[in-house]
A and B are shown apart, each in its own frame.
Chain A
Amino acid sequence: NAGVTQTPKFQVLKTGQSMTLQCAQDMNHNSMYWYRQDPGMGLRLIYYSASEGTTDKGEVPNGYNVSRLNKREFSLRLESAAPSQTSVYFCASSETWGTGSNTEAFFGQGTRLTVV
């Protein structure tokens, strides 16, 4: 099992460019998440998807859009990249059902994004 796979691993963008970060999980999990990690800020939730067909904003959604393409895939799009979006992005998934929110999340290896 690959678990949670993120692509690309590294990316450099110019200000104003757009790109999509891809995430796929092979564990048949219902819930998926996108976080960004910045020094001193910890992990901040950008968007999450509790189940296929639903998405919700997290703590820092501005400047981002997401698509839950199917149960396996959850992509994060930057429409017009800004230097403030320079960060390490992590995708995660967990098995959740109804009120069964006690399961741990599994993380990808991260995407290091630099916006110049």
Chain B
Amino acid sequence: AQSVAQPEDQVNVAEGNPLTVKCTYSVSGNPYLFWYVQYPNRGLQFLLKYITGDNLVKGSYGFEAEFNKSQTSFHLKKPSALVSDSALYFCAVRVYGFQKLVFGTGTRLLVSP
């Protein structure tokens, strides 16, 4: 079975400060990991993914994520948060060789001015 955990329901950060949104995963096999963002009343938009290679992955809107195999984590980061980054963020995992895509429960990011 594959699963994703996002331990924080909400993350609060001041504009200009760095942000981290946490994600841990559990799979049998090699994982492919994804981050998505959802703005109010919208579908999900792809931010970035880890397939293989460098553990630090860069994505859209200045976001990056660090893959840590030993800790089975894939935390989303941004050096300097913007108010416009406020949204709902989802981590997802797929296992190599399979098409099933499983999401976490989401983390609401609130960036204050």
Contact = CB atoms under 8 A, between A and B. Distances in A.
Interface of A: 4, 30-31, 33, 35, 40-45, 48, 50, 56, 58-59, 90, 92, 94, 96, 99, 101-102, 104-110
Interface in B41-84: 42-46, 49, 51
B25 interface: no
B95 A101 contact: yes
10 contacts: A31-B99, A44-B103, A59-B102, A92-B101, A102-B96, A104-B34, A104-B49, A105-B44, A105-B101, A107-B36
Contacts of B105: 40-42
A110 B92 CA distance: 18
A36 to B, nearest CB: 11
Given A48-B100, A94-B99, A107-B43, 9 more contacts: A40-B105, A42-B104, A45-B103, A58-B100, A59-B102, A90-B44, A92-B101, A105-B101, A108-B43
B85 to A, nearest CB: 19
B94 interface: yes
A102 B94 contact: yes
